[in-house]
Structure 1
């Protein structure tokens, strides 16, 4: 009977807000998001091997922030605030 009462409480606790993360870790995560807001990302791979012959691969990424025309610096700031509950501790490196 106790387990039946405990299980729903454990599930509800897991759905609650997560504690803020380390500000420097948040900066790293949010820099990636802000870089994606600067423009399309992608890669092209071309190769040849003796078993299968030539091969190619093309990947293109478009972030919703880029498509919405959001400023990458604002994307970074709002992301850090969302993850830590505080303003960024450093300027982003968006290179």
Structure 2
């Protein structure tokens, strides 16, 4: 006997922070193109930083440049301290 799987449609709602699967939408200021090489083929992942701030992590496959941008920011990349909550060069740095 063969069982047939039922297909269920899940209501589309907001994608939770930290999800890799995200729908389209307007790009945040600073995330349209790589700030180092200008490529527009970027990986963008919306999530919360360990400090609880909503941000977008942007990675460029072309030059491997990476940066974080606050959802409520002005397009300026966040510092390591803004993202981790620890001063650069402090405990845990260089891992």
User: Normalising by structure 2, what TM-score?
Assistant: 0.21
Higher helix share: 1
When Rg is computed on C-alpha atoms for both structures, the one with the higher figure is: 1
> Higher RCO, 1 or 2 (CA under 8 Å, sep at least 6)?
1
